[in-house]
Structure 1
Amino acid sequence: MCGLVGIFDTTGRRPVDRDLLSAMNDSLAHRGPDGDDLHLEEGIGLGHRRLSIIDLAGGSQPMFNEDGTVAVIYNGEIYNFQELAQELRERGHRFHSVCDTEVIVHAWEEWGADCVQRFRGMFAFALWDGNSETLFLARDRLGIKPLYYAALPDGRLIFGSEMKALLCDPVLEREFDIQGIEEYFAFGYVPDPRTIYRSVHKLPPAHTLVWQRGKPQPAPQRYWEICFQADNRMKEADACVELRERMSEAVKIRLMADVPLGAFLSGGVDSSSVVSMMAEHSSGPVNTCSIGFDVPDFDEAIYAEQVAKHLNTDHRSRQVAADSFDLIEDMSKFYDEPFADSSAMPTYQVCRLARESVTVALSGDGGDEAFAGYRRYRWHHYEEMVRGTLPGPLRQPVFSLLGRIYPKMDWAPRSFRAKTTFQALARESVEGYFHSVSILSDALRQRLYSPRMQRELQGYHARSVLEDTLKDAPVEHHLDRVQYADMKTYLPGDILTKVDRASMATSLEVRVPLLDHKLLEWAATLPPAFRLRAREGKYLLKKAMEERLPHDILYREKMGFSIPLATWFRGPLREVVRRRLLNGALDQVGLFDMGFIERLLDEHATGISDHSVPIWALLMFESFLSNVHLAAVASRVPARATGT
């Protein structure tokens, strides 16, 4: 895995600041500790940090075509590069390496922007074509690899694998995107293409950006879509066989590496299935690793050990303290913008453990989105069935009334917590799903924001993200809709961002076979009942793996990969958190009602309510302010006029 940076003069051929380009490249040293290089010519500068995985001797970047007029910097793996290289040789192209990077150069020469249609894998790359003075940026279909960019007032475009590289440029504006803050406190991350700063954008998954010098700023263009269309002729037994074959092939092509390779093993269905397929294609035991916690309710290590023994893997496990609070400072520096998924901490810890013995690790990420594994899909399915039986004019007033009068009982078993269910049933479908994925409710966010923040929002609501995503979604069933929504928002914005930054912080490459786009395209043809049946999510995946994995592993209750926030914030971290939130950087930005934050802390500490999620979101925002934003603002200088 690697890191890339670049500076492009979109208006002319002004010299590129070599020192700035070098600083941008050095900021990504963790993504590529094995080598670095810069390439500069009139009006364009490219930088690359390399983590050597394939063709250790000949894969240095930037990489060029035969006459040096086309250059590429690239982060990722193209798993079908050997077949593409052979096809390109037959068309007259000459190769000087045996790595996948060079395929991108020649594929661009042969097919232009359509080259991305032929790539199977994970990638983010920037390609410069000196003949047409064109910069081509591309990101893989699911958003496994990141790419940030910003068009500056002086006519330059800067880009990089992480936002920290862009923040090296003192001209870059550091003004908050207020709508991005609203989205952060709704989702726990800032969804693509927005970032926390108005001036910076993420290139969305499955998009390219083609910018020709001297031309107006282009809009990103989509090159791939996931379409849900059920094949109702499919037989369950046949589907199980085909799923195993497709998963096996997706895993097999991800085993290519010239460095040690292993896998994460949590003991859940997804990672266990991936390791099972790896064992099928490996001549010796698969290297696996997992971490356990010193809090039993959050510890899955026993299940990982059970699967490791069943599959005869070379397993390494380590118990870590659940209160590794010191990692919070590092987390904000890894992510560059507020990121409230607390599982980022154990993800980083398992990546650090894996890196002690391997350079590449396969993970089971994506299985929940592909095969409907989240519990919220089940609840949404039930709610949609009720919505379908009662017309809105009747359903909304009835359930709104029940939601108001029914007592709130967060402490009770879920079957008795009907208030939330009644409130959900009173909403329309998209609004209902938005509330199921929100980390802070509408009411809580409104009370959290200061009057200034509310004014600057001008009525904007984070629900718009899902509304825009689902407006023309190529789906047939309500289960398709929420899976599609998650693939476009939660998967790239949360899951894949979490894994990329945590793994790259340790210089570890993570591959995700369950997000192979050909596998996903097939999975989208599964009838809804093959994905979710009664209370069983991932129904077909579990049935397909019954002959390979223990029954109690496949059908145990889903735990997730989380940490005991509520206990932390009432225990040893109580005073630390209180001091950080009330006496730290939050008050300085004027966006929050500090009195309400104090009330949240008091109610949580006394046990009146569990406010661990909003407290964590605030803590991560404060950490971003203290460790990233304030330093970024201090380094800002006024922009130069265009053309200087």
Structure 2
Amino acid sequence: MCGIAGIYHLETPKPVDPARVEAMCDAMVHRGPDGHGVWTAPGVGLGHRRLSIIDLAGSPQPMASSDGRAMLVFNGEIYNYRELRQELRKTGAMFHTDGDSEVILAAWQRWGPECVSRLHGMFAFAIYDCEARTLFLARDRLGVKPLFMAPLSDGSLVFGSELKALLAHPLLRRDVDPLAVEDYLAWGYVPDSRSMIKGVMKLPAGHSLLLQHGKSLPAPRQYWDVSFAERRKGRVEDLEAELLHLMRQAVTSRMVADVPLGAFLSGGVDSSSVVALMAEASSQAVRTCSIGFDVAALDETAYASQVAERYGTDHQARQVSPDDFGMIDTLAGMFDEPFADASALPTWRVCQLARESVTVALSGDGADEALAGYRRHLFQHGEDRVRALLPQSVRGPVFGTLGAIYPKADWAPRPLRAKTTLLSLAGDSAEGYARAIGFTSPELRESLYSPEYLRLRGDYRAETPLLELMRGAPARSGLDRAQYADLKSWLPGDILTKVDRTSMAVSLEAREPLLDHRLIEFAASLPESMRVRSGQGKWLMKRTMRRFLPDDILYRPKQGFVTPIAQWFRGPLAQVARDACSSAQLARTGWFDSRRLSGLVDAHLAGTSDNSRLLWQLLMLEKAFTKLGIA
């Protein structure tokens, strides 16, 4: 795992200052403490920070192809590089290292831009073709590895693994995109379709970009997509066997490393499944680690210990407490853009714990998105049945009116919190899902904004791109479209951003075997009954793993990696909540109704509403603005 950065002149091949590229790389030293390099030529500069994982001494970057025609900087891992190397050797390719970087170069020379479809792994890379004088940028299918880009006033395009690399370039203006604030408040993260800084772009997952001197910046080209439009047929036993084969293949391929390797173990279905398959494939005890909380209702360490004991892992556990909130500035600095998923804190802590003994850790991320494991998927499946029974002309007025008058009863037992469900049923399937996954509802956001911000936002609504994505999805049902949206938006924007930044902050490589694209494609083809059945998500996966894991791991209610911020804000962090909503940084923007924000804090501290997620959002927004120097 590494960090990459570069400068490419689109208009004319002006000289590139190596010191400027080096400064961009130095901003990401945490991504690659084991080595660094810079290469420049007329019109281009490439930089690299290396975290050594495979071929520890033999694959320095930037790397030249065997004939010197192409130069590469690469972040990630190619899991099928050995098979590709054998195939490419048969066509005359020569190799001088044992790593995967040289395989990418040979694949580029053999297949050109189509090489990305042959690569199985997580990656973001740049290849400069010295003869054609083109720059090729690519990002992996699911967006595990990030890639930021921005055109500058001197006619160049800068790119890097993190926004902070681009911010190291003096020509990048730090103007806020006001529409990114709308997106952030809606989802809790800034999606890949936008950046907090105007003019900065993120190469979408499953896309590539080919640049050429003298030509304008083209649109990215999509080379991979997942389809939910087909339905696989066959006996349950056969589908179960195929799923197990794909999971085994995904796990074992990600266990290749020349450094110590382990796994995150939360005690949930996904991480426990990964650990079980690692233990099956390993001749040594698997190293595992988990994080717990000082709030008993949210602590899963007992389940993690149960799995660790079952498979004889070398297990470590640590507890997170409110005192860890003192590291909020450090946490905010990892993400550059505001990021409100509060589980980033324990994720960072488990990465720190893992890094004490390993350099690579496997995680269980991806199964919920691929196999319908979230509670919201069950709700979506059930709500669509109601939608099928009642026409929109009936549902809209009836459920819309009921939802509008139903109180937002955060204090009530979950079955009585019906407001969101009623409002979801009032709209179509896509509108209902957008409301279900939102951090803040459209109505709440509207009440937070000042007249000045409403003027800046204009007609734009954060939900619009998601609705277009779902309605245009290659899918058959509302559940299909919901999962497609998760894989395309939520996964790269939230889950994978969280894991990448927190793991890279401690120079740890995180690998996600359950996001192997072949596994994702298989899961998308399963009938709905193989994903959701009898009130259970991930039905086929749970059935498949019965031989490996006990029922109290497989079938207990999903808990998730939750941080107890609601309790923290009402206890030792109450003053932090007040400070967040009276912040001079937020007030300086003029975009929020300060009295409305204060009222939300008062209601949360009084216990009449749970506004903890919004308070955390505002706090992280303030910290991001401060870090970026844009407010």
The letter of the residue matching 1:606 is A
Partner of 2:132: 132
Decide which moves more: 180-189 or 402-411. 402-411
The answer to whether 1:13 aligns with 2:13 is: yes
Match runs of 1:96-495 below 5 Å: 96-495=96-495
Deviation at 1:417? 2.8
Deviation at 1:352? 0.3
Per-residue Cα deviation, 1:15-67 (whole angstroms, up to 9, x for no partner)? 11222111101011000000001101111111000000000110110111123
Partner of 2:22: 22
Q: Distance in 2 between matches of 1:48 and 1:408?
A: 50
Partner SS for 2:127: strand
Deviation at 1:404? 3.4
Q: Distance in 2 between matches of 1:418 and 1:588?
A: 37
The two structures have a TM-score, normalised by structure 2, of 0.98
The letter of the residue matching 2:21 is L
Q: Is contact 1:332–1:628 with CA below 8 Å preserved after alignment?
A: no
Partner of 1:513: 513
Partner of 1:592: 592
Decide which moves more: 261-270 or 319-328. 319-328
Q: Is contact 1:295–1:322 with CA below 8 Å preserved after alignment?
A: no
Q: Distance in 2 between matches of 1:425 and 1:4?
A: 45
Decide which moves more: 241-250 or 138-147. 241-250
Partner of 1:640: none
Segments of 5+ residues of structure 2 without an aligned counterpart are none
Match runs of 1:556-571 below 5 Å: 556-571=556-571
Per-residue Cα deviation, 1:264-301 (whole angstroms, up to 9, x for no partner)? 00000000000111011100111101111111112111
Partner of 1:551: 551
Q: Is contact 1:322–1:563 with CA below 8 Å preserved after alignment?
A: no
Q: Is contact 1:264–1:288 with CA below 8 Å preserved after alignment?
A: yes
Q: 1:477/1:83 Cα in 2 relative to 1: closer, same or farther (>3 Å)?
A: same
Q: Distance in 2 between matches of 1:148 and 1:570?
A: 37
Partner SS for 1:291: strand
The letter of the residue matching 1:14 is K
Deviation at 1:610? 1.2
Q: 1:323/1:435 Cα in 2 relative to 1: closer, same or farther (>3 Å)?
A: farther
Q: Distance in 2 between matches of 1:73 and 1:223?
A: 20
Partner of 1:40: 40
The letter of the residue matching 1:404 is A
Q: Is contact 1:51–1:507 with CA below 8 Å preserved after alignment?
A: yes
Decide which moves more: 512-521 or 574-583. 574-583
Q: How many matched pairs? A: 631
The letter of the residue matching 1:112 is G
Deviation at 1:349? 0.2
Deviation at 1:408? 4.1
Partner SS for 1:52: coil
The letter of the residue matching 2:44 is I
Q: Is contact 1:581–1:622 with CA below 8 Å preserved after alignment?
A: no
Q: Distance in 2 between matches of 1:557 and 1:354?
A: 26
Q: Distance in 1 between matches of 2:2 and 2:404?
A: 53
The letter of the residue matching 1:274 is V
Q: 1:478/1:504 Cα in 2 relative to 1: closer, same or farther (>3 Å)?
A: same
Deviation at 1:431? 1.1
Q: Distance in 2 between matches of 1:167 and 1:284?
A: 44
The answer to whether 1:497 aligns with 2:500 is: no
Partner SS for 1:546: helix
Deviation at 1:403? 2.3
The RMSD of aligned alpha carbons is 1.2
Q: Is contact 2:411–2:610 with CA below 8 Å preserved after alignment?
A: no
The answer to whether 1:57 aligns with 2:41 is: no
The letter of the residue matching 1:607 is G
Q: 1:322/1:559 Cα in 2 relative to 1: closer, same or farther (>3 Å)?
A: farther
Per-residue Cα deviation, 1:466-521 (whole angstroms, up to 9, x for no partner)? 12212321111221110001000000000000000000000000110000001111
Q: Distance in 1 between matches of 2:181 and 2:419?
A: 28
Q: Is contact 1:263–1:287 with CA below 8 Å preserved after alignment?
A: yes
Partner of 2:604: 604
Deviation at 1:378? 0.7
Q: Distance in 1 between matches of 2:273 and 2:507?
A: 25
Identity rate of aligned residues, in percent?
Answer: 54
Partner SS for 2:546: coil
The answer to whether 1:525 aligns with 2:525 is: yes
Deviation at 1:407? 4.2
Q: Is contact 2:16–2:44 with CA below 8 Å preserved after alignment?
A: yes
Partner of 1:636: none
Deviation at 1:581? 3.1
Q: Distance in 2 between matches of 1:584 and 1:166?
A: 27
Deviation at 1:215? 1.1
Deviation at 1:69? 2.2
The two structures have a TM-score, normalised by structure 1, of 0.96
The letter of the residue matching 2:142 is L
Q: Distance in 1 between matches of 2:184 and 2:569?
A: 21
Deviation at 1:217? 1.2
Partner of 1:618: 618
Q: 1:56/1:593 Cα in 2 relative to 1: closer, same or farther (>3 Å)?
A: same
